[in-house]
Amino acid sequence: VQLQASGGGLVQAGGSLRLSCAASGPTFSTYTMGWFRQAPGLEREFVSFIIGSTGNTYYADSVVGRFTISRDNAKNTVYLQMNSLKPEDTAVYYCAARLEPRYSGVYYEPGGYDYWGQGTQVTVSS
């Protein structure tokens, strides 16, 4: 499985960006897809995930109400719509795929995912 993230950039506080992550693989619709981010000097942290079989979505408390994850299985792509961006959202954003069924690793930790994209930089200026 290969993942290609895109859509990052420089935006002012209060602005919006939409990240995309294109995935390879014939069974994309079954993958749980996640977004994580990593700021300089900090650990990679959970942002959001969407379960393939149900479409259920989950978010970190810090982004609830501002970010929306979605997927288009026909295009093998997952999106992260980010609104009301804050300077503290500045980070490299990574998409990740978890092949299901999987019985180890939790959805909100990096170890719960099998494949990672290369990351896309998001910078929010104040």
Residues 64-92 have pLDDT tens digits of 999 999 999 999 999 999 999 999 999 99
DSSP states along the chain: --EEEE--EEEETT--EEEEEEE-STTGGGSEEEEEEE-TTS--EEEEEE-TTT--EEE-TTTTTTEEEEEEGGGTEEEEEE-S--GGG-EEEEEEEE-SS--SS-TTSGGG-SEE---EEEEEE-
Please state, rounded to an integer, the average pLDDT across all residues of the chain. 95
Average the pLDDT over 99-103 and give the result.
86
Percent of the chain with pLDDT strictly greater than 90: 92
Q: Rounded CA gap, 111 and 65, in Å?
A: 26
Confidence of residue 101 (pLDDT cuts 50, 70, 90): confident
Q: Is 2 exposed, middle or buried (0-12, 13-18, 19+ CB in 10 A)?
A: exposed
pLDDT at 105 over 90: no
Question: Residue 52 is encoded by which pair of tokens?
Answer: 């393939």
pLDDT for res 26: 82
pLDDT at 7 over 90: yes
pLDDT for res 39: 96
